[in-house]
Amino acid sequence: MKKNKYIYFALAASMVIASCKQEPIKPEAPATTTPVTPSKGTADFTKFVAIGNSLTAGYQAGALFTEGQANSLPKILSTQFSLAQGATLAFNQPDINSDYGYYGTAGPLILGRLILYDADGVAGPKTAAPAPAGTPGMPAPYSKGGDLPAPFTGDKAALNNFGVPGIQLGQVLTPLTGGPSTGNPAYNGLYARFATNPGTSTILGDALATQPTFFLFDLGNNDVLGYAVGGGSNPAIFTSESTFTGYYTTAINTILGSNANLKGVIANIPDVTTIPYFTTVTWNAITLDAATATTVTTSLANNYNGFLDAMKTAGVITQAEFDKRKLTYVAGKNGVLISDETLTDLTAAMNANGAAALVPYAQARQATSTDLIPLSAGAILGTIAPNTNNTGVYGVSFPVGDAYALIPTEATEIKARTTAFNATIAAAAAGSNNRIALADVNAAFTALVTAKAGVYNGVTITPGFAPPTGAFSEDGVHPNSRGYAFMANIIIDAINAKFTAAVPKADISKYKGTALPINKP
């Protein structure tokens, strides 16, 4: 396998954008609409406050940065509310004051938002993939990298946007979200930076203290998303149905109880298994030539399959499990080699039968079309696994870990939990005495995924992040500015229907999509 390792390095770098190529889109005539006189109906947008997570904060491309905040979902809504209200409404956000925000660190480097980057130039064998600003080799201005988040120095009492990236539903209710910063799993520095009293105040309390006349409450996504993007490997962060219902009921009752005249809109949770994070890297992303397929068959598959056959004969595994686990390598596309915790763990049997070298494959199989491979896997697929003497290639001859695959049982569990959460959200709107509109974001995004494309304001958008039509940003999870405008219009539709309003929709063509890739000079 050693002689073929460079083949796999090239594979890892090229699979992401290769799988992002746009499907042919049938041109459609843009829909025409009859202009209506803007009206607020029975709503009052004088003081609009938004409460939520990263989708509310303006987070995109893996970071919170100035341009993203300027095109946040609630900022777009506020712009449209001003037209309906007949006055320019103030909308203040806890400005991050950074061109590229904070994505993470790499040694001494502070990395910023994700950019589509071709690391070996247009003539090289690799193609562009998401990489953080500040990645060595990036041209200016992206070479600058990002910035560590600094405390917000503006007027906290005048804020309208209380979106905090990374929070789950329960964190809006507890002061622990603001501190202390150590020994506290609920702590979130992006709230602490603008909390009125870190460690004492709560996100919800700070928002309601501004005395809103209309609110957006958009929470719950991270209660399923965190578990999903980790490949279902950490059940501790997967909120239970009963806990979610308790938190959501408390939050909505607190909001409505703060002011008898307060009205608002709540959004439900889209099916996270259909976002580009889970649909960009395909299950059969491992492309091999005939010689390499033969090499992997000889060096791994024959030995592994022989051991499986012995386990079947001994009654340790069934014929059905043998068929599921048997490795087959062919010239062309092959399933990613993954670990599946639902399979019989053969570790003990391998050690007991002189097959200790096969222990890394104790629950291994190749992915099928029912498995989802997350975008994060693109960073390791085709690279050499440590401590394998350069023979173990992730996804090819060495299985990726649980975090890099979402198997059918996990996807089913996530969908079921999302459905239950959305039932709780719908019940909150139905029981609000007509004070809350329900925006069915789930249905709208599902329709976009099913249709594969939509035309709005003469602009085609698709449910991916590949430019020029993708509605998602480079992280594959959060919308780009154009995607946030699409989402704002879903919410505006719900508001107009509930409160007999005529809030004009955002013009999607005025908002940016994902930028074209940049190349190494």
We report the CATH number of the domain holding residue 231 as: 3.40.50.1110
Is the domain of 138 the same as that of 153?
A: no
pLDDT digit string (tens) for 261-281? 999 999 999 999 999 999 999
Residues 316 and 430 reside in one and the same domain: no
Looking at 147, 173, 208, the residue that finishes a domain is 147
Domain boundary among 147, 182, 205: 147
Which pLDDT score is estimated for 223? 98
DSSP state, 316?
A: S
Residues 51 and 63 in one domain: yes
Spatial separation of the C-alpha atoms in residues 436 and 498, rounded to whole Å: 8
Q: Taking a C-beta distance cutoff of 8 angstroms, is the pair 115, 515 a contact?
A: yes
Q: Extract the tokens encoding 431.
A: 């029981």
Whether 24 is covered by a domain: the verdict is no
Whether residues 134 and 268 share a domain: the answer is no
- Structural domain contains residue 177: yes
Answer whether residue 212 is part of any domain.
yes
Co-location of 142 and 167 in the same domain:
no
Helix (H, G, I), strand (E, B), or coil: what is residue 393? strand
CA nearest neighbour of 171 among 69, 244, 236, 241: 244
Within a domain: 118: yes
Distance CA 253, CA 376 (A): 38
With CA atoms as reference, report the closest residue to 68 among 49, 55, 52, 53. 55
The answer to whether 112 touches 133, Cβ cutoff 8 Å, is yes
The pLDDT of residue 5 is 30
Please tell me the pTM assigned to this model: 0.92
Query: Do 65 and 188 belong to one domain?
Result: yes
Amino acid at 138: M
Domain annotation covers residue 31: no
If asked whether residues 160 and 107 sit together in one domain, one would say: no
Identify whether 87 is part of a domain: yes
pLDDT (tens digit, 0 to 9) for every residue of the chain, 521 residues total? 333 332 333 344 344 444 444 444 555 555 555 678 999 999 999 999 999 999 999 999 999 999 999 999 999 999 999 999 999 999 999 999 999 999 999 999 999 999 999 988 777 777 889 999 999 999 999 999 999 999 999 999 999 999 999 999 999 999 999 999 999 999 999 999 999 999 999 999 999 999 999 999 999 999 999 999 999 999 999 999 999 999 999 999 999 999 999 999 999 999 999 999 999 999 999 999 999 999 999 999 999 999 999 999 999 999 999 999 999 999 999 999 999 999 999 999 999 999 999 999 999 999 999 999 999 999 899 999 999 988 899 999 999 999 999 999 999 999 999 999 999 999 999 999 999 999 999 999 999 999 999 999 999 999 999 999 999 999 999 999 999 999 999 999 999 999 999 999 999 999 999 999 999 88
Q: Do both 52 and 164 map to the same domain?
A: yes
How deeply is 215 buried, as exposed, middle or buried, from its count of CB atoms within 10 A (0-12, 13-18, 19+)?
Answer: buried
Residues 364 and 442 in one domain: no
pLDDT of the residue at 304:
98
Query: Would you list the DSSP string of 233-284?
Result: --GGGS--HHHHHHHHHHHHHHHHHT-TT-EEEEE----GGGSHHHHSB-TT
Buried b (16+ CB within 10 A) or exposed e, 269-282: bbbbbbbbbbbbbb
- Within this chain, do residues 167 and 76 fall inside the same structural domain, yes or no? yes
Using DSSP bridges, classify how beta strands 48-52 and 161-163 pair: parallel, antiparallel or unpaired. Answer: parallel
Number of separate domains in the chain? 3
In a domain, 14, yes or no: no
Residues of the domain holding 351: 286-368+372-405
Token output for 4: 């073929």
Q: Using DSSP, state whether 380 is helix, strand or coil.
A: coil
In total, the chain counts a number of residues equal to: 521
Q: Say yes or no: 247 and 353 in one domain.
A: no
d(CA 472, CA 463): 7
Q: Which helix (H) or strand (E) holds 161?
A: strand 161-163
Hey, what amino acid is at 58?
G
Q: Please, which residues bridge with residue 406 across strands? A: 372
Cross-strand pairs, 364: 339
Q: Where are the beta strands (DSSP E) in 350-488?
A: 364-366, 436-439, 454-456, 459-461
Looking at the domain assignment, is residue 4 inside a domain? no
Do 356 and 479 sit in the same domain of this protein?
no
Residue (of 304, 460, 267, 286) closest to 373 by Cα position: 286
- The span from the first CA to the last CA of the chain, in angstroms, equals 33
Tell which residue, 478, 466, 475, 477, has the closest CA to residue 515: 466
